[in-house]
């Protein structure tokens, strides 16, 4: 097996006064004197959107620079809790215990949502692959190992599948995407719930090809014949990967397109602490695997300038920035939820 060793760390710039250099954070471009710098790090899932927000916000607010390092949800939480970044990002909401560890307090707000897709290398396989719930769960469980398995053939009767081994691509690093995917598998499969279970990193029950970041996963799928894996929709779309239609809770096969993601979210009640997971959404036309992603901000910053910069940037992301979601393959927040999140970030001091 060939492991992907490339480091996926994209740093973006927007603006906010540098008070202290975060030595553990990858360095971006030098910040001009008099500017304010916000450094963030975390989930690869929303990385393209956060980079876009950084760019667009920088055009509007020339006094602020924002840098975001795409290092994975696990690292993002670590960096935020060790106080080495101005904000963290994760596809798994902080627990009460983790919030209690934050030295300057913590505010947790959803910023967007996205679909986790089952993507595959199309060489030798149909352009549109349909997978039942029990089938894709058993593929990742290692119970279905060949593409010509009768259970795959059953929902794709017009295609003759080759007798080829299925190569499974997974995340190498601790990942909120892995959490969302395994949370879904646990919701639809008793065997999965009793076996590998849920986590940002798990012991996979079968041989896999691990890759770092959503970017690494889709790149591995793209160059590995007969491979299948899970990744954020936008990342798979950018590399023109095929994505399976998955059977949802209502028994319908749903492709990760159109309003399938938003319909899944509209059926969900979000609690006051914004910590909500959607392992198996209701709705006839809902895509079955979707997750919110969150930004972690400090309740208190070291200066009025930095607090104002963080507050204004996050409020912009939750309002004007939402218009960029669909074009990049994400799901914008329902308006009522966005308004609640804005009220939360206004508590930053």
What is the predicted pLDDT for the residue at 32?
67
Tell me the per-residue pLDDT of 265-319, one tens digit each, with 9 for 90 and over.
887 889 999 999 989 999 999 999 999 999 999 999 989 999 999 999 999 999 9
Terminal C-alpha separation, the chain: 50
Q: Are 293 and 91 in contact (CB under 8 A)?
A: yes
Q: Phi and psi at residue 167, in whole multiples of 5°? A: -95, 125
Residue 326 in tokens? 């669909």
Residues (pLDDT < 50) of the chain are 1-27
Q: Give the separation between CA 287 and CA 71, rounded to whole angstroms.
A: 27
pTM above 0.75, yes or no: yes
Q: Helix and strand tally (H, E) in the chain?
A: 12, 12
Q: Give the separation between CA 124 and CA 145, rounded to whole angstroms.
A: 16
What is the predicted pLDDT for the residue at 139?
98
What is the predicted pLDDT for the residue at 262?
86
Integer CA distances (angstroms), 164 to 123, 139, 140, 148, 217, in order: 11, 13, 16, 7, 20
Domain 36-113+291-345 has CATH 3.40.190.10: yes
What is the predicted pLDDT for the residue at 13?
32
Q: Are 301 and 85 in contact (CB under 8 A)?
A: no
Q: Are 147 and 320 in contact (CB under 8 A)?
A: no
What is the predicted pLDDT for the residue at 60?
95
Q: Whose structure tokens read 């913590």? A: 106
CATH T-level assignment (fold) for domain 116-266 = D-Maltodextrin-Binding Protein; domain 2 (3.40.190)
The conformational region for residue 163 under phi > 0 = left, psi -120 to 50 = alpha, else beta, is beta
Q: Give the separation between CA 106 and CA 86, rounded to whole angstroms.
A: 11
Q: Where are the beta strands (DSSP E) in the chain?
A: 36-42, 64-70, 87-90, 107-120, 130-131, 167-171, 209-211, 227-232, 242-243, 245-247, 253-254, 290-297
Query: Where, residue-wise, is CATH 3.40.190.10 in the chain?
Result: 36-113+291-345, 116-266
Integer CA distances (angstroms), 76 to 54, 91, 294, in order: 17, 10, 11
Report helix, strand or coil for 333.
coil
Question: For the CA atoms of 69, 326, 281, 268, what is the dihedral angle to 10 degrees?
Answer: 90
What is the predicted pLDDT for the residue at 305?
95
């Amino acid at each position: 097996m060939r492991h992907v060793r490339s480091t996926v760390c994209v740093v973006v710039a927007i603006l906010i006064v540098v008070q202290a250099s975060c030595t553990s954070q990858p360095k971006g471009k030098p910040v001009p004197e008099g500017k304010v710098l916000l450094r963030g790090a975390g989930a690869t899932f929303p990385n393209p959107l956060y980079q876009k927000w950084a760019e667009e916000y920088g055009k509007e607010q020339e006094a602020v620079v924002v840098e975001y390092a795409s290092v994975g949800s696990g690292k993002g939480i670590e960096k935020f809790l060790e106080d080495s970044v101005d904000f963290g990002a994760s596809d798994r909401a902080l627990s009460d215990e983790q919030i209690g560890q934050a030295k300057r307090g913590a505010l947790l707000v959803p910023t967007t949502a996205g679909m986790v897709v089952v993507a595959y290398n199309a060489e030798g396989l149909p352009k549109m692959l349909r997978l039942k719930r029990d089938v894709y769960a058993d593929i990742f469980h290692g119970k279905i190992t060949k593409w010509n398995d009768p259970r795959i053939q059953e929902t794709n009767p017009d295609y003759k599948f080759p007798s080829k081994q299925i190569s499974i691509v997974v995340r190498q690093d601790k990942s909120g995407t892995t959490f969302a995917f395994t949370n879904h598998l646990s919701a639809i499969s008793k065997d999965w719930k009793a076996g590998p279970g849920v986590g940002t990193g798990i012991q996979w029950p079968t041989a896999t090809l691990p890759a770092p970041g959503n970017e690494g996963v889709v790149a591995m799928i793209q160059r590995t014949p007969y491979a299948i894996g899970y990744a954020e929709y936008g990342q798979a779309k950018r590399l023109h990967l095929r994505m399976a239609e998955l059977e949802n809770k209502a028994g319908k096969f749903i492709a990760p397109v159109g309003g399938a993601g938003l319909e899944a979210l509209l059926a969900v009640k979000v609690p006051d602490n914004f910590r909500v997971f959607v392992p198996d959404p209701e709705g006839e036309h809902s895509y079955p695997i979707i997750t919110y992603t969150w930004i972690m901000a400090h309740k208190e910053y070291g200066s009025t300038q930095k607090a104002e910069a963080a507050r204004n940037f996050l409020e912009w992301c939750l309002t004007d920035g939402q218009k960029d979601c669909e074009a990049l393959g994400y799901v914008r927040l329902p308006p009522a939820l966005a308004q609640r999140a804005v009220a939360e970030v206004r508590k930053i001091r």
